[in-house]
Amino acid sequence: MGCRGSNTAFMHFDDIKVPVANRIGEEGEGFKHFMITLDGGRISIAAMALGLAVGAYEIAAKHATKRKAFGRPIGNYQGIQWKLADMATRIEAARGLVYGSAQMKDSGQRHSTQSAMAKVYASEVCNFCTYEAIGILGADGLTPKYPVERMYRDMKLTEIGEGTSEVQRIVIARSVLKSFAD
């Protein structure tokens, strides 16, 4: 359905023996390493969501300056202006979360909560922006004439990859509750 740019396939392994020399970390620490990797992956998915949202927004904004209805560019109408304003505002908020969590990771700080926040918010912004962009483009938004229809399909991975939005909310809530219990 989506993620045409990612060559993704199902792989299944049974009874695999990994030589000690090829082991990552110590025996019994695999889950810990997996979770550390997952936190970084959440930032990558959030960045993907942000990029899709920005792409859809830019296509819609450009279209709104060129497409005319009743003799005026559709961007002159308040309904389209509000959609673009909401898209721009949400994108900037998502950008702050994505960049902030990436900066925390790069500086070696714990970033589990921030990467979960960035991922859940950016993926929901991506959903909003790709959906609204299709609306601004009208029927053309549903066709391959514009890449927004592909962006909308690709968006779904951002809501489920590296943990669903519901899982992100659990990660965030546990952190919040722990901070108030201490």
162 is catalytic: yes
Which of these, 73, 68, 74, lies nearest to 136 by C-alpha position?
74
The per-residue pLDDT string of the chain (182 residues; one tens digit each, 9 = 90 and over) reads: 677 656 777 889 899 888 889 888 888 888 888 888 889 999 999 999 999 999 999 999 999 999 999 999 999 999 999 999 999 999 999 999 999 999 999 999 999 999 999 999 999 999 999 999 999 999 999 999 999 999 999 999 999 989 999 999 999 999 999 999 97
- Which member of 132, 159, 162, 166 is catalytic? 162
The model's pTM is: 0.90
Query: Whole-angstrom Cα distance, residue 39 to residue 42?
Result: 5
Alpha helix (H) residue ranges in 23-164: 30-66, 78-106, 112-137, 148-160
pLDDT at residue 27, as a whole number = 83
Domains of the chain: 39-181 (1.20.140.10)
